[in-house]
Amino acid sequence: MDMEVGQVLHMNGGVGETSYANNSLVQQKVITMTKPITEDAITKLYCSSYPVAIAIADLGCSSGPNTLFVVSELIKAVDSLRRKMSRKSPEYQVFLNDLPGNDFNTIFRSLSVFQNKLSKQLGPDSGPCFFTGVPGSFYGRLFKKNSLHFVHSSYSLQWLSQVPKGLENNKGNIYMASTSPPDVLKAYHEQFQQDFFLFLKCRSEELVDGGRMVLTVLGRRNDDPSSKEGCYIWELLATALNDMVLEGTIEKEKLNSFNIPQYTPSPVEVKYEVSKEGSFSIDRLEVTEVNWNAYQNETDISDAFKDGGYNVAKCMRAVAEPLIVSHFGEAIVDQVFQRYREIIADRMSKEKTEFVNVIVSLVKD
């Protein structure tokens, strides 16, 4: 599959039923869970040099409520610090980055409401906040040398720059799976190594000395890359697609040439790449879990949301639909996700289903 990932990979745009904006609760929970780590990093950054202007980049910002949620938390943390120390407020420059197919218009349309709300929360003496959209792949340079103080990225770095080469033997699978041959696992791992190394190298040029990065990646605890932790959600999608091959709705060749451009690393792999690249030291490295169904612990939710399979399938659809449409075409999408929903609901009723997150807080040496 020679899919042009930079063109195809984007979350479903707009604010409709299947949009990412309305199906990103898991991501929001993860951002909230990592808040102590993010705040710790921005606190250390501010207190080490008291910059008069702070440049923050959110890489893989997507569109929807989470896009500005992180930024506002960071700015509020700095503002509360500088008040305690009776210092003048810095000015804030915020860069929102994603691939060109991202729905930047939805973000830009929500900015004025967001800025008004933020300035009310911060009060009249807080510095201005400027926003810039930066389309492009973060597996390349995006900013001037030494121009950033803080980089945040959540649930983006598991996406690879391309589908790895050499996956011809991965028949019947759409990702690394328990039945994938060793050369497939190797191809995925090498693509991750190459991409993550490049990401770190580019950011090390763009960050000031002492600049910080907090990265949350969908990952795994286990050393085995084909373990259930990182792969199960895609294995279930492969089951739905394989069923459709048996029925003749999808051609077998079409399925065999479809692979997801993702890699879910372990903390050990993340640590190894950071030390290999050499520009950063690790301040914190943690692993957390979040339930597949982000509504799991909500009490007052409508009946429509009580179907966990429905929620998870919708979350995954917001992420995977553009990839599926570009490969299999528009016609089968509803059917794929209807089946996927049933398979997920069945699994969730029988076992504990969780996403594993690897969170790393880095300082540029």
The DSSP symbol for 58 reads E
| pLDDT of 18 strictly over 70 | no
pLDDT greater than 90 at residue 341: no
Cβ atoms within 10 Å, residue 7: 12
Q: In this structure, are residues 292 and 312 in contact, taking their beta carbons and an 8 Å threshold?
A: yes
Candidates 204, 354, 174, 359; CA nearest to 270 is: 359
pLDDT > 80? residue 330? yes
pLDDT of residue 234: 81
CA distances from residue 150 to 14, 54, 62, 330 in whole angstroms, order as listed: 28, 8, 18, 39
Report the range out of 170-174, 323-327, 345-349, 360-364 with the highest average pLDDT. Answer: 360-364
The pLDDT tens digits of the residues spanning 246-260 come to 888 888 888 888 888
Question: What is the model's pLDDT at position 8?
Answer: 47
- State the pLDDT at residue 293: 61
Positive or negative, the Cα torsion across 199, 200, 202, 208?
positive
CA gap 105, 179 in Å, rounded: 42
pLDDT band at residue 302 under the 50/70/90 scheme: very low
SS3 134: strand
Nearest in space to 211 (alpha carbons), one of 16, 48, 325: 48
Residue 201 is predicted with a pLDDT of: 98
Separation between Cα atoms, residue 248 and residue 251, nearest integer Å:
7
Please state, rounded to an integer, the average pLDDT across all residues of the chain: 84
Cα separation of 98 and 63, whole Å? Answer: 9
- Exposed, middle or buried, 210 (CB in 10 Å: 0-12/13-18/19+)? middle
Please write the tens of the pLDDT for every residue from 3-14: 455 444 454 554
Maximum average pLDDT range among 59-68, 145-154, 288-297:
145-154
334 contacts: CB under 8 Å, gap ≥ 6: none
DSSP string, 10-32: ----SSSTT-STTS-HHHHHHHH
CB 230 within 8 A of CB 219: yes
The tens digit of pLDDT for each residue in 58-100 reads 998 877 666 788 899 999 999 999 999 999 999 999 999 998 8
Strand, helix or coil for residue 350: helix
The closest alpha carbon to 122, from 94, 93, 81, belongs to 81
The rounded distance, in Å, linking the Cα atoms of 308 and 295 is 8
Q: What is the arithmetic mean of pLDDT over 129-141?
A: 95
Q: What value does the mean pLDDT take over residues 24-47?
A: 85
The residues near 94 (Cβ < 8 Å, ≥ 6 apart) are: 55, 56, 57, 58, 71, 129, 130, 131, 132
Q: Which one has a higher pLDDT value, 156 or 25? A: 156
Burial 253-276 (b: 16+ CB within 10 A, else e): ebbbbbbbbbbbbbbebbeebbee
Q: Give alpha helix (H) positions in the chain.
A: 5-8, 25-33, 35-49, 65-84, 104-122, 182-206, 228-246, 252-256, 267-277, 308-328, 333-350
Which stretch, 21-30, 180-189, 318-327, has highest mean pLDDT?
A: 180-189
Compute the distance between CA of residue 226 and CA of residue 218 in angstroms, rounded to an integer: 14
pLDDT at 191 over 90: yes
Q: How far is CA 232 from CA 299, 329, 331, 344, 351, in A?
A: 27, 24, 25, 10, 12
Q: Above 50 in pLDDT, residue 306? A: no
More confident residue, 48 or 242: 48
**111 or 3: whose pLDDT is higher?**
111
pLDDT bin (cut points 50, 70, 90) of residue 303 is very low
Read off the pLDDT band of 25 (50, 70, 90): low
* Residue 165 burial (10 A CB sphere; 0-12, 13-18, 19+): exposed
Residue 19 has pLDDT above 90, yes or no: no
The burial class, CB within 10 Å (0-12 / 13-18 / 19+), for 344 is: buried
pLDDT at site 29: 76
